[in-house]
């Protein structure tokens, strides 16, 4: 009887796991450029209300995900877009980012950035 109860518990746990499979939502799919990636860096960055980054670019590809708040994002030559929590974005290596700032004056905005770099490269280069 004890073996039967154990077997039923194992089957029941397996059935419950099968019913609650993880949900996968594709946020971004992108071909990688021919760029030797030697280092990956992942940062979570929080911008204060209204705070933004200066005009900049990245030496390697950057892939990001907005965790909270909203970000106004504008690569050179493109229209500005408002990214919300749950949105993903890509910054192309070497492309100037003319605007990247917290869209709201009353709340912080947080995002995760994944930098694909050569060994020892800085993740960001500020325009002087």
pLDDT tens profile 8-47: 565 566 655 568 889 887 877 877 777 788 999 999 999 9
pLDDT of residue 9: 60
Please provide the average confidence, as pLDDT, over all residues in the chain. 88
Examine the pLDDT at 61 and tell me if it is beyond 60.
yes
**What number of other Cβ atoms are within 10 A of residue 50's Cβ?**
14
Q: Are 40 and 115 in contact (CB under 8 A)?
A: yes
Which pLDDT value is given to residue 18? 61
The mean per-residue pLDDT over the stretch 75-98 comes to 96
Backbone angles phi, psi at 19, to 5 degrees: -75, -25
3-state SS assignment for residue 81: strand
* Cross-strand pairs, 100: 53, 73
For residue 100, pLDDT beyond 70: yes
Per-residue DSSP letter, 7: H
Residue with tokens 């030559």: 77
Rounded to 5 degrees, what are φ and ψ at 73? -125, 130
Question: Residue 23: its pLDDT value, please?
Answer: 84
| Residue 73 to residues 32, 37, 47, 79, Cα–Cα distance (Å) | 21, 25, 13, 9
In 3D space, the residue among 90, 91, 100 whose CA is nearest the CA of residue 51 turns out to be: 100
Q: How confident is the model at residue 1 (pLDDT cuts 50, 70, 90)?
A: low
Per the listing, tokens 């909203």 go with 70
User: Which residues lie closer than 8 Å to 31 by C-beta, 6 or more apart?
Assistant: none
């Amino acid at each position: 009887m004890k073996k039967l109860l154990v077997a039923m518990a194992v089957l029941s746990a397996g059935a419950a796991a099968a019913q609650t499979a993880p949900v996968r939502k594709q946020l971004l799919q992108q071909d990688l450029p021919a760029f030797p990636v030697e280092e990956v860096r992942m940062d979570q960055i929080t911008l204060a209300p209204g705070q933004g980054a200066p005009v900049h670019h990245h030496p390697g590809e950057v892939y990001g995900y907005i965790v909270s708040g909203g970000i106004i994002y504008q690569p050179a030559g493109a229209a500005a877009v408002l990214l919300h929590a749950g949105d993903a974005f890509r910054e192309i290596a070497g492309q100037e980012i003319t605007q990247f700032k917290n869209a709201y004056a009353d709340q912080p905005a947080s995002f995760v950035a994944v930098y694909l770099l050569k060994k020892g490269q800085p993740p960001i280069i500020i325009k002087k």
